[in-house]
Amino acid sequence: MQTADFDYHLPPERIAQTPIEPRHASRLMVLRRETGELEHTTFWHIGEYLRPGDLLVVNQTRVIPARIFARKETGGRVELLLLRRQDELTWEALVGGKRLTAGKRLQVEGGTRVEVLAELDGSRRLLRFEQPVEGSLALVGQMPLPPYIHEPLRDPERYQTVYASTPGSAAAPTAGLHFTPELLERLEQQGVGFASLTLHVGLDTFAPVTEDDPREHKIHTEWCEVTPQAAEAVNAARERGGRIVAVGTTSVRTLESAARRAAPGQTVAPFSGPTDLFILPGFTFRAVDAMVTNFHLPRSSLIMLVSAFAGRERILAAYQTAIELQYRFYSFGDAMLIL
């Protein structure tokens, strides 16, 4: 297995720069794993492929406005992107600026002071704020859109799912951006169930794998939680013969992390803590029967995950079809349903 096996060419104009309105008007490609058959519809019609008793499992994380700016003591401007909170004052962050070594002090624009505690790999730093910064992010922070989106976002809520409730992510679980309250109600009336879990998304999720052999790639941990109620809903749905439909790769990784802790006869167990689960072809899925996902970056851990689920050749062929049919790619793009 080589990282180059998961490469493909995407014309830049296929990268969606703005979200479509309404959310559920995005296109939906349906891929059937057993046959490789493709169907094309809109997300509003996803219920036609779901059955009463199926369980949609969504990630309820909420993106925090984690992009903030600070000044060095010399006056130079620095960009900080908060990735993961370690305690009330300490955060792991990406920094944009030179010579930000341990001991350097910064003044957040419109906010508190911060010190660089330690240098991590690359441009990562461990930061300690003089005061808790989370409560002031709404005033001093900006929404951290991915670097391939160049258009300003008029409404920050469009980079949140409609069910986002637990703050903590540096990026949105984008497969869930297609759902609207109207569609959720329609699916509930159809007999489709819902369960919520949490995984706070870090930027590593979207980063290209740079190693030639993807098995040598280190994926950073992300905090996730499957509550007892969510685990009970998943186990009960499976026992009734319903399918577990994960909304997004973050839900997949969380469910499969919980499945590794399940007792005999269970699909998943309640779980709260960090996960570093890296899903590559050859992985045995224990909890997920189907998934909703967007179209992912070449050489990313995400295209490797969906390839593990549906087969690399089938995924790359589906992506090529999507390019030819002018689907929209990445965070604000169209969706796939893999059955």
* Segment 207-224, tens digit of pLDDT: 678 899 898 888 778 999
- Provide CB contacts within 8 A for 259, sequence distance 6+: 267, 268, 269, 286, 287
**Helices of type H across 93-179:** 137-140
Judge whether 322 lies within some domain: yes
| Helix locations, 103-150, DSSP H | 137-140
| CATH code, domain carrying 129 | 2.40.10.240
pLDDT at 205 over 70: no
Containing structural domain, residue 109: 67-140
Q: What's the confidence (pLDDT) of residue 206?
A: 59
Phi and psi, residue 115, nearest 5°: -120, 140
Predicted confidence (pLDDT) at residue 270 exceeds the cutoff of 70: yes
Give the residue-averaged pLDDT of 36-50: 98
146 assigned to some structural domain: no
pLDDT (tens digit per residue) in 154-203: 899 999 999 999 999 989 999 999 999 999 999 999 999 999 999 999 87
Say how many domains are in the chain: 2
For residues 122 and 296, the model is more confident at 296
Same domain, 112 and 209: no
Domain final residue, candidates 82, 106, 140: 140
The token duo for 139 is 């005033």
Crossing angle of the two packed helices 312-324 and 301-310, in degrees rounded to 10: 110
Determine what percent of the chain is predicted with pLDDT higher than 90. Answer: 80
> CATH number of the domain that 34 lies in?
3.40.1780.10
Mean of the per-residue pLDDT values for the chain?
Answer: 94
pLDDT at res. 286: 97
Kindly report, residue by residue over 119-140, the tens digit of the pLDDT.
Answer: 988 888 999 999 999 888 988 9
